[in-house]
Amino acid sequence: MLTTNDIRRGFLDYFGAAGHRIVPSAPLVPQNDPTLMFVNAGMVPFKNVFTGLETRPYGTAVSAQKCVRAGGKHNDLDNVGYTARHHTFFEMLGNFSFGQYFKAEAIEHAWTLLTKVWGLDPARLTVTVYHTDDEAFDLWRKIAGLPDDRIIRIATNDNFWSMGDTGPCGPCSEIFFDHGPHIPGGPPGSPDEDGDRFVEIWNLVFMQYEQVDAGTRLDLPRPSIDTGMGLERIAAVLQGVHDN
């Protein structure tokens, strides 16, 4: 059985072999961001790289970032203890492209790692796309061969990710694992989507905009990729249990 350490290493090595710089987790307290009390996503340490304020000696990166979601825009506190999948502290596995690749490559990498490297059964995977994102819909059909009824269009903010009231943002595509009919819950977009049957394991954000203030959204200098997979969620899946 893969241990959590094996899974973290496997993720970093997969993207490292695909040319991504392996970047250590940043501290939980943001070093450069007065808008947040704690790092709440893998992209936070790269926020200024997405917006073009900062450059790094690499164009793609991969990390396993320590995160806290216990307040603010991304607050999981009220779910802890009620679901099988929420934590206040967790690790987010993520690959990042700063203008190097976009939707097709992000989807291709995610599908390859999940189904070819880790051997997940494609029949247990369902994805969502932002309702207007025909391009992502078509890519999932082409790259993963998913049938149309397992590429679900979602019109809410669940499929438009932003780090906070300001900062980089964009439409996103989420990958769900079906833990099976013995667990209560329904597919994304259904009335019982909050159950633990269909668990979001990976979020691919197609970073395109910067929210500067409530009324101003600018284009990012280059379309970029920010993904995040909960280490504890994928560990449950790969270890054959449904509860983190």
Q: Which C-beta is closer to ligand SER: that of 23 or that of 43?
A: 43
Least distance (Å) between residue 226 CB and ligand SER? 5
Question: Are 209 and 170 a contacting pair, CB within 8 Å?
Answer: yes
Interface residue list for ligand SER (CB under 6 A): 41-43, 94, 161, 203, 205, 226-228
Inter-helix orientation angle 4-17/231-238, to 10°: 110
Among all residues, whose Cβ is closest to ligand SER? 228
Beta strands at 151-154 and 160-162: parallel, antiparallel or unpaired: unpaired
Least distance (Å) between residue 153 CB and ligand SER? 18
Q: Which C-beta is closer to ligand SER: that of 45 or that of 94?
A: 94
Least distance (Å) between residue 145 CB and ligand SER? 24
Least distance (Å) between residue 93 CB and ligand SER? 9
Ramachandran assignment for 71, one of left (phi > 0), alpha (psi -120 to 50 degrees), beta (any other): left
Q: Which C-beta is closer to ligand SER: that of 155 or that of 184?
A: 155
Q: Measured between alpha carbons, how far is 200 from 180 in angstroms, rounded to an integer?
A: 14
Residue 10 DSSP class: H
Q: Which C-beta is closer to ligand SER: that of 132 or that of 157?
A: 157
Question: Are 162 and 169 a contacting pair, CB within 8 Å?
Answer: yes
